[in-house]
């Protein structure tokens, strides 16, 4: 009874703990935090100096005593302590204008499909240590499908491809459950690495990850139907002279650098389709594929997948926030949460 009374006063939150970005949804308020999953630490004092956008701006620009770290790799917690501090910072930020006796929040958080029990327990423990009262873990494609307002509880196939920073999750959902799925470590971060590698091999130029991401966002394309050639300045260190240098990279060169990774994503979508039951395949052919996650914003990716699979493809509305909007919807719908959440490790 007391738990129910406290629960009515708590600020329950939904979290999309992503490799690239962390988004937080607060019940009755919407999305209140959208920050890069980056933390800057003073290694001498173990003090956190910056979190999110401020920390990301420091990447590659710090003295030896400041370490800028990304505590998640491939959607999995790689640094438990830093992840806990980051989550605590976000929870405290949400509650800073509240009374001191406001109870700890109930948290719904998304995780990748291929997460192990140990890795899932690490997520639960980090969220609890950061100040959560209850932790409910859901698979990210399920949360993304709910956030994209797909009818997951009906006897229909919903094929969602959630392309994040560290992982691409492909899932066929029907009757509030995942029927067939695949999860691969080829996603937004890998595309950035492709561009870095291309700059090194073709231009003898060493560029940073942040600059590679800018190139991808500005002129990157998985498929270009316009035929318009775009250019973007590539700045970095010349590997031969060691001096700073600028060259111009074209959109077709960026496409060439990312082509192999995009082909792997498409091949895995085909693999999921091959193991999907025929009745659901008929639904998918009629209803199409939905792309969610930040990677869905890559220009022409929907067309490239549609041509390769011969199935209609659409990008969800605001694909970057689908997972966190899904967790927010589950905060309001406890009956659906009980059906779709993963079994608690405790």
Boundaries of every domain in the chain: 156-186+264-317, 188-257
Alpha helical stretches, state H, 275-321: 278-287, 301-309
20 is in an annotated binding site: yes
* List of residues 6+ apart from 226 with CB closer than 8 A: none
Helices (H) and strands (E) in the chain, counts: 12, 18
Return d(Cα 319, Cα 297) in angstroms, integer.
7
Q: What is the pLDDT of residue 224?
A: 74
Return d(Cα 253, Cα 55) in angstroms, integer.
30
Model confidence band, residue 244 (pLDDT cutoffs 50, 70, 90): very high
Q: Which two tokens stand for residue 90?
A: 């976000």
Sheet strands (E) in 94-243: 106-111, 134-139, 158-163, 168-174, 177-184, 205-206, 231-238
288-320 in b/e form (b: 16+ CB < 10 A) is bbbbbbbbbbbbbbbebbbebbebebebbeebb
Res 21 pLDDT > 80: yes
| Residue 196 phi, psi dihedral angles, 5° rounding | -60, -45
Return d(Cα 218, Cα 49) in angstroms, integer.
30
Write the pLDDT tens digit of every residue in 95-132: 776 554 567 899 999 999 999 999 999 999 999 999 99
19 is in an annotated binding site: yes
Model confidence band, residue 1 (pLDDT cutoffs 50, 70, 90): very low
CATH of 188-257, one of 3.90.110.10, 3.40.50.2000, 3.90.640.10, 3.40.430.10: 3.90.640.10
226 is in an annotated binding site: no
216 is in an annotated binding site: yes
Whole-number Cα distances in Å, 117 to 76, 113, 123, 165:
12, 11, 10, 22
124 is in an annotated binding site: no
Other CB atoms within a 10 A radius of the CB of residue 322 amount to: 30
215 is in an annotated binding site: yes
Res 65 pLDDT > 50: yes
Give me the percent of the chain exceeding a pLDDT of 90: 86
166 is in an annotated binding site: yes
Other CB atoms within a 10 A radius of the CB of residue 209 amount to: 15
Q: What is the pLDDT of residue 5?
A: 45
296 is in an annotated binding site: yes
Taking residues 328-341, report their average pLDDT: 95
Q: What is the pLDDT of residue 345?
A: 57
Res 343 pLDDT > 50: yes
Res 177 pLDDT > 80: yes
21 is in an annotated binding site: yes
Model confidence band, residue 41 (pLDDT cutoffs 50, 70, 90): very high
Domain 156-186+264-317 carries which CATH code?
3.30.420.40
337 is in an annotated binding site: no
* List of residues 6+ apart from 5 with CB closer than 8 A: none
17 is in an annotated binding site: no
Question: Using alpha carbons only, what angle is made at residue 72 by residues 70 and 78, rounded to the nearest 5 degrees?
Answer: 100
120-134 in b/e form (b: 16+ CB < 10 A) is bebbbbbbbebbbeb
């Amino acid at each position: 009874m007391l738990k129910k009374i406290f629960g009515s006063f708590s600020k329950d939150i939904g979290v999309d703990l992503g490799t690239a970005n962390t988004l937080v949804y607060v019940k009755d308020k919407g999305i209140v935090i959208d920050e890069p999953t980056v933390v800057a630490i003073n290694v001498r004092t173990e003090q956190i100096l910056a979190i999110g956008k401020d920390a990301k701006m420091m990447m590659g620009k710090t003295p030896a005593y400041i370490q800028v770290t990304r505590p998640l790799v491939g959607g999995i917690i790689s640094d438990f302590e830093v992840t806990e501090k980051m989550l605590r910072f976000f929870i405290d930020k949400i509650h800073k204008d509240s009374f001191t006796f406001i109870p700890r929040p109930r948290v719904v958080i998304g995780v990748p499909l291929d997460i192990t029990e140990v890795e899932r327990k690490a997520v639960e423990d980090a969220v609890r240590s950061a100040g959560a009262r209850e932790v409910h873990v859901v698979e990210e494609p399920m949360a993304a499908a709910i956030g994209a307002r797909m009818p997951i509880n009906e006897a229909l196939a919903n094929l969602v491809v959630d392309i994040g920073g560290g992982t691409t999750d492909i899932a066929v959902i029907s009757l509030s459950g995942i029927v067939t799925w695949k999860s691969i470590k080829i996603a937004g971060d890998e595309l950035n690495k492709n561009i870095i590698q291309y700059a090194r091999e073709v231009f003898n130029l060493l560029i940073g990850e942040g600059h590679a991401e800018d190139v991808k966002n500005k002129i990157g394309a998985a498929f270009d139907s316009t035929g318009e050639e775009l250019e973007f300045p590539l700045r970095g260190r010349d590997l031969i002279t060691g001096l700073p240098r600028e060259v111009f990279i074209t959109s077709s060169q960026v496409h060439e650098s990312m082509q192999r990774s995009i082909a792997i994503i498409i091949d895995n979508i085909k693999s999921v389709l091959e193991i999907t039951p025929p009745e659901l395949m008929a639904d998918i052919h009629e209803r199409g594929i939905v792309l969610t996650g930040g990677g869905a914003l890559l220009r022409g990716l929907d067309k490239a997948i549609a041509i390769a699979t011969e199935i209609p493809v659409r990008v969800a509305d605001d694909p970057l926030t689908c997972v966190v909007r899904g967790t927010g919807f589950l905060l309001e719908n406890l009956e659906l949460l009980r059906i779709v959440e993963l079994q608690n490790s405790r």
